[in-house]
Amino acid sequence: MNTKNNYTIQKQLVSMIFSFFLLSFLLSCLSSPQFAIEKEEKKLSRLICMKGLLEPRELSHFFMQENPHADAQKVWALANFYVKEAQDEGINSDIAFVQMCLETGFLRFGGLVSEDMNNFCGLGAISREEPGLRFPSMEIGVRAHIQHLQAYACTRDLQKELVDPRYKWVQPRGKSPSIYGLAGTWASDQAYGEKLDALLERLESFLLTNCCSKKIFFF
Q: Mean pLDDT in the chain?
A: 85
Q: Above 50 in pLDDT, residue 212?
A: no
Q: Which residue has the higher pLDDT, 65 or 110?
A: 65
Q: Above 50 in pLDDT, residue 215?
A: no
Residues facing 71 on adjacent strands: none
pLDDT of residue 50: 95
Q: Are 97 and 168 in contact (CB under 8 A)?
A: no
Residue 165: DSSP 8-state: T
pLDDT of residue 6: 57
pLDDT digits (tens, 9 = 90+) for 85-95: 999 999 999 99
Q: Are 163 and 143 in contact (CB under 8 A)?
A: yes
Name the pTM for this structure.
0.78
48-62, 80-94, 119-133: which range is least confident on average? 119-133
Could you tell me what percent of the chain has a pLDDT over 90? 68
pLDDT of residue 130: 76
Could you tell me what percent of the chain has a pLDDT over 70? 77
Residue 217's pLDDT band, with cuts at 50, 70 and 90, is very low
pLDDT digits (tens, 9 = 90+) for 141-195: 999 999 999 999 999 999 999 999 999 999 999 999 999 999 999 999 999 999 9
134: left (phi over 0), alpha (psi -120 to 50) or beta: beta
161: left (phi over 0), alpha (psi -120 to 50) or beta: beta
Q: Above 80 in pLDDT, residue 213?
A: no
